[in-house]
A = this chain, B = another copy of it.
Amino acid sequence: MNASFDFLSQLATIVGERHVLTASDRIAGYLIDVRKAYEGQALCIVEPADTLEVSAVVALCSDHDVAITPIGGNTGLVGGGAVRSKKVADGNERPGIGLSLRRLDRIREISALDGTITVEAGCVLQKIQEAAAEADLYFPLSLSAEGSCQIGGNIATNAGGTAAVRYGVTRQLVLGLEVVLPSGKVIHGLKRLRKDNAGYDLKQLFIGSEGTLGIITAAVMRVMPAPKATATAMVALDSIPAALEVLRRMHAAFGERVTSAEITERAYMDLVLKQLKAARPAFPETPTWSLLLEVSDSRDGAELKEPLEETLASALEDGIASDVLIAQNEAQAESFWYLRHGVSEAIRHAGPNMSHDSSVPLERQGDYVLRTRERILERFPEATPLYVGHLGDGNMHLVVMFSPDRFIDRAAYSAVSSELDTIIDDVVVELDGSITAEHGIGLSYRSRLARTKAPAEIELMQGIKAVFDPRNIMNPGKLLPA
């Protein structure tokens, strides 16, 4: 206890006493994720104010062999931010600390000419979007949690979102990173460069490494010219192949201006309409698939609505689409988006469920749906598979829902969940896809990494981890298999 007390007081010397949180009511919010799926246990939560303090805290933890879990907005879906202890030399578990980045929340610089925004890790995503918009620029990363997730977490998990079809995932938006290594040393990599071939590109390793290799404290991100014209449509379709043909025509007609292509299956759309009071159906009858399309252009007055109407009208004439709605105003566009953004909320109140985040090559998305649905219903006829996806990225979210009384306890739930994992992972592997397209590995997928990566790849990952974090203090127990 004395050692631990001593450690806490040294932490307090670095960050100030009021930023070393130990009282259970003050740390509770840090120890539970948004889905309440993983509970963490921490010696304390520290809230450093800047990179120097992060560095000092990490160096102290390195000296004392104390595990650190970096905590952003706590919106991850796979338990990557759950604070864990680590096994130390004497075989005991030593409690870890949670390191919150929330006080590193400054926007350091915007350069319109360079098309960059330099931000600290604790900036909430929405704040960055707004800062870019104020400078008549556009930060394209957008996802449901944008009001609370932090950019450091977005980078550490290589977040995807709804505009990736046009702008790529987070990795494509990162130009430079400032990182505190597990030794406490700082990599000052906040370069505003588009091209830099001086040695291995280390920042690529931190992106998507879920806090296991170091703590991202700041980043240079790309910003784009602000869209000055937007057009939105909802398309009713009978099948995924039909949806893909519409997407192909959209790309041929609009090139990179295709900004979003989000698809929702009937059962999921019906659930949204049932659960969300403000939801209004787009079509009189819910189609098998509803495809939300958005195109945007940075040129003021660019004509998009008319070519969008033409492109989709021809899809209708050719029998590919069964119905088409072009948003006539912003309110109608928002009502389409409301249906898409409502999926997470809808599922929250609908009963026990297991969620999957697969990607497959675009042209295999139809197979993915057919095979998973068939095999799930064969094994669990009482289940309802719900599909919603980023069609343009081959990234399909599959939620398998059950009736509220299906499971008598957590163990029964886990047994089914684990069986479903195997069923769905098998399909993903058959179709040469990824079992975790954008959510990451965290705790949830840790034991399943070997289903999708070869032993040689996992060995290299473990070798990299050992190089960066030889004492294994940085978010131990996450991402890599035990």
Contact = CB atoms under 8 A, between A and B. Distances in A.
B359 A195 contact: yes
A423 interface: no
5 contacts: A197-B208, A198-B452, A200-B213, A200-B479, A254-B299
Contact of A197 (B194, B248, B434): B434
Contacts of A160: 195
Nearest to A250: B225
B111 A437 contact: no
A162 interface: no
B191 A434 contact: yes
Interface residues of A, number: 92
Contact of A437 (B169, B189, B193, B363): B193
Nearest to A459: B467
Q: Which 9 A-B pairs have the closest CB atoms?
A: A255-B298, A463-B467, A204-B204, A196-B434, A195-B437, A192-B361, A194-B393, A113-B363, A114-B362
**For the complex formed by this chain, how many copies does it contain in all?**
2
Given A191-B432, A360-B193, A456-B181, A461 B114 contact: no
A452 B435 CA distance: 38
Contacts of A359: 193-196
A51 interface: no
Interface string A419-440: 0000000000000111111111
Nearest to A166: B256
Contacts of A116: 361
Given A188-B454, A362-B114, A480-B199, A394 B193 contact: yes
A269 interface: no
